[in-house]
Chains A and B, each alone.
Chain A
Amino acid sequence: MNQNLEFKLQAWLDGELSGSEAQAIEREVAADADVARLAAELRTVKSAMAGNETARVVPETREFYWSKIQRQIERESAQPAPARRMAVWRHWLSPLAGLAGLACILILAIKPGTPATFDEISSTGEGMEAVTFHDQSAGMTVVWLADSEREQPQIQSPAPKTEEGGSGVEVE
């Protein structure tokens, strides 16, 4: 008897075969005494085992058995909490850290090693205020002269703006 037939015979007994396959096996059982004997043996084991598992009782008292479970539950419920908090932090910090890293890269890539864009010197005289910018990257100095009696100039970078009552003078 080949292995395929043996396994199909078993599948037939277990109700795992389709109608046509089951009918084919039934014909084999009817026609071959060896197949019929093997079917009887498999059926015997199957029916003997059905519902005949030995019952077993926990070999510990209810209190002791439960105390071990309870201790483990408490131990494990104490442990995951920090882990969960860390997971939340990781969830939010990871993208932020990524963005910060990207920003650093962009800054360094665009102007590698560039010092502060411009220095600012401010001096105030009687009735006059002078504000000087020096843009090192552009090699340019801008001096603002403004009437301190009037509105203070609004400083914006990088292009100097002439406020009303003041004038911009470019110095090489």
Chain B
Amino acid sequence: MSSHEDKSEVTDTDLVTAAQKGGMEAFEQLVARHRDKIYARAYGMMRHEDEALDLSQEAWVKGWQRLAQFHGDSSFATWMTRIVINLCLDQLRKQKRQRAESIEALEEESGGVERYMPAVNPNPTAHLERTELRGRIDRALGQLSAEHRTVLVLHEFEELEYKEIAKKMGCSIGTVMSRLFYARRRMASLLAGLKREKTE
């Protein structure tokens, strides 16, 4: 049987069971099904194509090695997403250690200019096509610091609660609240700025 034969009728659960018995072919099917999602999560956090590729592939290797620990408490895709998120967080921590303390890093905790900005109104994203809105959000995310982007991705896209984010990021709930607040304020400012660019 070719490893690329379409097995779309086979469930993830069946493929996981086969892979847990050593079936590399079944695991390849799982990779093929979910590779874009895992890569997208890595890219969303790292904003760097090569890093996202490396980390997503590392996540699949870890997934294979830890397959016996998967008991189906969540979906396989969710389980894999958690693995790649943890790898990305490790990588971001390494990068942060290498990065010298900067004014930007200090401002992330205290809010920087966002602290003094008036609230952006009316809604800058109103009446936008979904594709255009996604594009703007993506560009705005690309302009955030790694800490602000990470907390937004984990809260808005992964829908994690404050305490779960704090645990993953190795910080206090207060820090999560602070980062999330200023990340949102910066996003509001960026989305408003992008709207102005469009209309000018």
A-side interface residues toward B, CB under 8 Å? 6-7, 10-11, 14, 16, 34, 37-38, 40-42, 44-46, 48-50, 52-60, 62-63, 65-66, 68-70, 72-73, 76-77
Contact = CB atoms under 8 A, between A and B. Distances in A.
Q: Which of A45, A55, A57, A63 has the most CB of B within 10 A?
A: A45
8 tightest A-B CB contacts, nearest first: A37-B119, A56-B40, A49-B156, A41-B119, A54-B138, A48-B125, A45-B184, A7-B177
B134 A52 contact: yes
Contacts of B4: 62-63
B31 A44 contact: no
Contacts of B39: 56-58
Given A50-B156, A54-B135, A68 B57 contact: yes
B181 A48 contact: no
A50 B125 CA distance: 13
Contacts of A34: 119
* Interface SS, A side: helix
A46 B156 contact: yes
Contact of A58 (B53, B118, B137, B161): B53
Given A42-B181, A56-B44, A58-B36, 17 more contacts: A6-B181, A7-B178, A11-B162, A16-B162, A37-B118, A42-B188, A45-B187, A45-B191, A49-B156, A50-B156, A52-B134, A58-B56, A62-B35, A65-B31, A66-B28, A66-B32, A73-B64
A7 B181 contact: yes
Contacts, number: 116
Interface in B135-158: 135, 137-138, 152-153, 155-157
A146 B73 CA distance: 82
A21 B178 CA distance: 18
10 contacts: A40-B121, A41-B120, A41-B121, A46-B156, A52-B137, A55-B40, A58-B35, A59-B53, A65-B57, A69-B61
Contact of A46 (B44, B177, B184): B184
B180 interface: yes
B43 A60 contact: no
Interface size on B, as a range, is 35 or more
A49 B186 CA distance: 13
B11 interface: no
Contacts of A54: 40, 134-135, 137-138
A20 to B, nearest CB: 18
Contacts of B157: 49, 53
B60 A69 contact: yes
B24 interface: yes
Contacts of B125: 44, 48
A53 B61 contact: no
B106 to A, nearest CB: 16
Contact of B36 (A7, A37, A56, A68): A56
B133 A52 contact: yes
Given A46-B156, A53-B44, A58-B36, A10 B177 contact: yes
Contact of B155 (A14, A41, A56, A63): A14
